[in-house]
Amino acid sequence: MIRHVYEAAKGALSASEVIVATDSEVILESVLSFGGKAVMTSPHHRSGTDRVAEVARSMDCDVVVNVQGDEPLIQPRMIDDVISLLADRRADIGTLVKRTEDPEEIADPNVVKAVFNREGFALYFSRAPVPYHRDRWRSLNDVVAGTHSARSCCYKHIGIYGYRRDVLLRLTELEPTGLEETEKLEQLRALENGFRIKTMETSFEIIGVDTPNDLERVETWLSLSS
C-alpha cells in the first residue's frame, strides 16, 4: 500500500520530491527496497503533521504537502490541486472537499464535514452534519433515514493538505486548541489561530485504510475502476 501511495505522489506534476516520513523500521526498509526515499523521524510525535514538520525543517522549499500513507486512492491531480490553491497569497493551507448526498456519510462522525465561504475559505470543520438543514431535518434521524424530504448535501473533507512551509512549522509549535480537542480535528487549531485554509472541490473519491474491511473496499473500488 505504501508503494502504491508513493508512486501516485510521484506522478504529481507540481511535486519536486516525494519523501516518506516514518518512525517504523519496517516501513523505512519497505520504501528503500522499491527505490523510494524515506526518512526516520522521532517516535514521539503527536500526529502525522508533526512528523512531516520534522522533515520539512531540514528542507529548502516553499510548500509541503502532507499525504497519508494509508490513502491508496490518492491521485496525482489531487496533490497538484492543493498546491495550486496556494497561488492565492491569502491562503496559508490548501485542502480538498467532496460533495456528498449519502445520508450515512453525512451522519457518520468519522466522515469530517467542511463549511466554506464563497471564495472557498474554510469556515469550520466538524464531525457533525454541518450545515444543519433546519427546514429539512427535524432530527438527526432524518439525516440517517435519508428520506426525500430530508435529503440534502454536505461537503466531506478529503484529508490531504498543502502548507506553506513556514505556516506548517509555526502551526506545529502551537498547543492544541479547545475546538481541536473537542472535535479531535487538527485543522481546527489552524482556524482558531487565524490561519486561512482554502478548499477546492474534487471529483475523486478516497478511502483511508484503517481496518481489513477498508482494504477490501479499496480493492473492490480499484477492480471496478480498472
On whether residue 217 sits in a domain, the answer given is no
- What CATH number corresponds to the domain at position 116? 3.90.550.10
154 falls in which pLDDT band (50, 70, 90)?
A: very high
Q: Please, which pLDDT band fits residue 149 given cuts at 50, 70 and 90?
A: very low
Return the number of other C-beta atoms located less than 10 Å from residue 94's C-beta. 25
Place 226 in a pLDDT band, splitting at 50, 70 and 90: low
Q: What angle do CA 183, 186, 190 make, to 5 degrees?
A: 115
Burial of residue 111, with CB atoms counted within 10 A of its CB: 0-12 exposed, 13-18 middle, 19 or more buried: middle
Q: Residue 143: which pLDDT band, with cuts at 50, 70 and 90? A: low
Identify whether 38 is part of a domain.
yes
- Domain membership of residue 224 (yes or no) is no
pLDDT category at 210 given cuts 50, 70, 90 is low
**Do the domain assignments include residue 58?**
yes
Would 195 be classed as within a structural domain? yes
Average pLDDT of the chain, as a whole number: 89
Does 171 reside within a domain? yes
Position 18 scores a pLDDT of 96
Tens digits of per-residue pLDDT, 98-116?
999 888 888 889 889 999 9
Residue 119 lies in a domain: yes
- Number of structural domains found in the chain: 1
Domain range for 31 is 2-209
Determine if the peptide bond prior to 43 is cis (ω within 30°).
no
Looking at 80-84, 143-147, 187-191, which range is the least confident one?
143-147
Cell of 183: 472535535
- Please indicate, yes or no, if residue 78 is contained in any of the structural domains: yes
d(CA 94, CA 163): 7
Q: 93: alpha, beta or left, given left = phi > 0 and alpha = psi -120 to 50?
A: beta
Tens digit of each residue's pLDDT (9 = 90 or more) over 157-199: 998 999 999 999 999 999 999 999 999 999 999 999 999 999 9
Question: What global pTM score does this model have?
Answer: 0.89
